[in-house]
Amino acid sequence: MATPVGFFTDTTLCIGCKACEVACKEWNQLPDNPIQFRDSYDNTGQLDQRNFRHVRFVEQATSNPDKPIAWSMMSDVCKHCANASCLEVCPTDAIIRTEFDTVYIQQDVCNGCRDCIAACPYGVIGFDSQSGTAKKCTFCYDRLQNNKMPACAQACPTQSIKFGNLADLRKMAADRVQALQAQGVTQARIYGDTEYGGLHAFFLLTDKPEAYALPNAESAVLPGRNDVPGYLAVAVTSVLAAIGGLVAFRRRGERA
């Protein structure tokens, strides 16, 4: 197996230029977005089958009247979770873990059931009605196989998106957080060290995860948590229903 790879996205370096979105669209030949007027500079909207990268403009009100809105930009992407919800529920095994430890949807296997979309806690996967399949970031699997870095990381002009060996990136991220905190950015934190067993695309944030539409540690749970309780409820209901049936349908001669 090849070395596990990752993306470390440092949101403090992102300037919202969307070069990553453009490079991703170009390499993966993704269709353009329908024109929509949104109440924001964020005209991409969300990650889906058309957008494997999405520069999120997080707008927050400040107490400074000269600067009423503060922006944090974050180039969002599939997190390629170590414990991936989509991979867990996929009934056809169309979603696989690659030799680079990334999560990949095999387009020739996917039958478009959309269970992965229901399961993904980050709202990353979209349904492509043209191909009839689910789509998301491939981590530029084709480029990785040819020893090239993913298109988004290569295009990022500020190196907000860093690509590399996962272990090296985690060390780099920890050092960066330490440096920022020493400079007084006390809110600096890493998102993705522990969530879903560790994310292969993890982020340096300067606010709580919810501000970036990311579930916090308590909310980052796998769909399988409801498997046993759900079936237990079915079993108990079955027994009670059978008792009801027995009482109602028992032979007339045996009725009290």
For residue 161, count other CB atoms closer than 10 A to its CB: 25
DSSP letter string, 46-73: S-SSS-SEEEEEEEEE-S-TTS-EEEEE
Number of residues that bind other proteins (CB under 8 A): 70
CB of 79 to other proteins, least distance (A): 12
Q: Which of 171, 165, 230 is nearest to 5 (CA)?
A: 165
Residue closer to other proteins (CB basis): 68 or 91? 91
Q: How many C-alpha atoms does 185 have within 13 Å on its Cβ side? A: 15
Region at 225 (left for phi over 0; alpha for psi -120 to 50; beta for the rest): alpha
Nearest-5° angle of CA 101, CA 102, CA 107? 130
116-155 residues in contact with other proteins (CB under 8 A) are: 117-129, 131-134
Q: Which is nearer to other proteins, 92 or 165 (CB)?
A: 92
69 binds other proteins (CB under 8 A): no
Among 16, 112, 141, 206, the residue binding other proteins under the rule CB under 8 A is 112
User: CB atoms < 10 A from the CB of 228, how many?
Assistant: 9
Output 164 or 223, the one with its CB closest to other proteins: 223
CB within 8 A of 157, min separation 6: which ones? 15, 17, 19
Is 194 a binding residue for other proteins by CB under 8 A? The answer is no
Least distance (Å) between residue 50 CB and other proteins: 12
Contact 202, 9 (CB under 8 A): yes
Taking the least distance from each CB to other proteins, the nearer of 76 and 176 is: 76
Q: Is 253 in the site for other proteins (CB under 8 A)?
A: yes
Nearest to 212 by CA among 15, 46, 29, 20: 46
Q: Which CB sits closer to other proteins, 30 or 151?
A: 30
Interaction with other proteins in 7-46: which residues (CB under 8 A)?
A: 46
Instruction: Retrieve residue 179's tokens.
Output: 């440096």
177 contributes a contact to other proteins by CB under 8 A: no
Pattern 223-242, other proteins, x by CB under 8 A:
xx-xx-xxxxxx-xxx-xxx
Question: What is the binding site for other proteins (CB under 8 A)?
Answer: 46, 48, 85, 88-94, 106, 108-115, 117-129, 131-134, 210, 213-216, 218-219, 221, 223-224, 226-227, 229-234, 236-238, 240-242, 244-253
